[in-house]
Structure 1
Amino acid sequence: MFEITSHLALVLILAAFCAGFIDSIAGGGGLISVPALLLAGASPVEALATNKLQGSFGAATATVAYARAGMVRPGEQLGMAAISAGAGASGAMAAHLVPAEVLRLVMPVILIGVAAFFALKPGLTDDARMQRIRPGIFAVTAVPLIAAYDGFFGPGTGSFFMLGFVLLAGYGLLKATAHTKLLNFASNLGSLLVFAFSGATWWHVGLAMAVAQVAGASLGARVALRAGARAIRPLLVVTSTAMALRLLWQALA
């Protein structure tokens, strides 16, 4: 049934649940799911393609949960979502053309910066902040850059979207988390459409992981809605730091 042995598939399903939980709150679920896929024997392209498949379900589930809670109106984000999907597809197409070594060295530094910002910046709550750029400018600058990175490389995309919403759009942490999920879903979907034609996706394993992603994302969204910034901020710091250390280890190994 699965592309791998059943016991490895069960490990990946558990990893997907944990990834969905973390990703729905703070982003960074790929820190769990991608290494797990690689350890299960997937090639880098297979791991990335399968991760996009299962991650799309988790991001969609979190989007629905936040929308039902009234934290986001997906209809108002459709333009940004379309840009995110297109940029995610472009990043995926470029993934096999542009060397990733530079990103592997640069991204840990950026992720450590993200962690430091959320750990040390005073006043990061669920309250709105000053808006620095208009939504239209945000949509054509920050959104395509982050989404293209997601298609090309991936780790930390949710954290980067959230940082953009907080610093540039002036959102509080909970609102930023809610608005991040649809854009993350769109960039996942755009890049998945590209990878689907490559034949690299583990469809059976990916769909089984998707079920676990949905369960984890549903639970994580409920935790975030109840605890707000008290849950989001520390998890952002931990996941960003963990991703940075993981990428450093990969780059220097």
Structure 2
Amino acid sequence: MLEPMVLLALAGVGMLAGFVDAVAGGGGMITVPALLSAGLPPISALATNKMQSSIGTAMAVLTYWRRGFVSVRALVPSVATTLAGSLIGALIVKQIDTSVLNVAVPIALIAIALYFLFAPSLSDADRASRLAFPRWVPVLGFVIGFYDGVFGPGTGSFFTIGFVLLFGLGITRATGNTKLLNLTSNLAALVIFIIGGDVVWQAAIVMAGGQVIGGYVGARAGIRFGAKLIRPLVVVVSIAMALKLLLWP
């Protein structure tokens, strides 16, 4: 049993992480250390984090969708392929050497940060798509879903950059669509954690409450301020994740 003050602190952490995650992703950088500090074993911290963050992401998805920034019908095939990729990745992760990702992923995240920092054309306006959306977004979903099942950090950033670079979406629409596919990839790992009995429900429930608030406020802020908020926050979060992976893998 966790003490009431610890649970209250975790609820606040969930709220902050929900806000950050709804705008730029990377909320796990805040919640996982907090759960470990609360005394949870590493596997329980990861499982509980997946549970509570999924609630916050779901709230963000709902908020973006209600404002017209998520193309749910167009993404149905991609939801299926993302789920399949994540499940396959989670099931075979123990058979794969992921050590190379400890270097490759931080480099990719820094490249994303530099692109979002310096690309002059990044805005909320849609541009011409380089690839056919119906044919290639499911492929993007499978590949990044598989990565999320195998490794995970930076999944939201990779989805966002894919929607912006390959499919010409404005930053706010890219973020909204990212949230739906990110939620899908999280659910695959979450099912495995729940079956394994790894979720600490007491912590997950109070953090989920904070995530609902943070996810809603973050999504509303992302919609209201658009690229002015999302762009710098993606830069900060991507660099922070890269440094975390390089210094504390």
1:18–1:216 Cα contact (<8 Å) kept: yes
In 1, the alpha carbon distance for the partners of 2:143 and 2:159 equals 10
CA distance in 1, matches of 2:79, 2:247: 33
The alignment-based identity, stated in percent, is: 43
Q: 1:119 to 1:56 in 2, by over 3 A?
A: same
Q: Find 1:77's aligned residue among 68, 75, 79.
A: 75
Amino acid in structure 2 at the alignment position of 1:17: M
1:85–1:191 CA contact under 8 A, matched in 2? no
Change (3 A) 1:94 1:65: same
SS of the residue 1:101 aligns to: coil
User: Which of these residues, 21, 25, 28, is aligned with residue 27 of structure 1?
Assistant: 25
Specify the alignment match of 2:186 in structure 1: 188
Alignment-derived partner of residue 231 in structure 1: 229
Quick check: 63-72 or 143-152, which moved more? 143-152
Work out the CA distance in 2 between the residues paired with 1:217 and 1:65: 8
The one of 4, 7, 15 equivalent to 1:6 is: 4
In structure 2, C-alpha distance between the alignment counterparts of 1:40 and 1:95, rounded to whole Å: 27
Asked whether the equivalents of residues 87 and 190 of structure 1 are also in contact (C-alpha less than 8 Å), the reply is no
Could you tell me which residue of structure 1 aligns to residue 165 of structure 2? Answer: 167
The equivalent of 1:146 in structure 2 is 144
- Gaps in structure 1 of 5+ consecutive residues: none
Is the 2:81–2:139 Cα contact (8 Å) retained in structure 1?
no
Question: 1:103/1:39 Cα in 2 relative to 1: closer, same or farther (>3 Å)?
Answer: farther
2:121 maps to 123
Q: Distance in 2 between matches of 1:229 and 1:181?
A: 16
CA distance in 2, matches of 1:238, 1:199: 34
The CA deviation at 1:99 is 4.2
Change (3 A) 1:205 1:81: same
Paired letter, 1:88? S
Mark the CA change 1:233 to 1:142 in structure 2 (over 3 Å): closer, same or farther: same
In 1: Cα distance, 2:71 partner to 2:108 partner = 30
CA distance in 2, matches of 1:32, 1:147: 22
Q: Secondary structure at the match of 1:72?
A: coil
Distance 1:90 1:185 in 2: 16
State TM-score, norm by structure 2. Answer: 0.93
Gaps of 5+ in 2: none
| CA-based RMSD | 1.6
* TM-fit CA distance, 1:232: 0.5
TM-score, length of structure 1 as denominator length:
0.92
Question: Which deviates more, 218-227 or 100-109?
Answer: 100-109
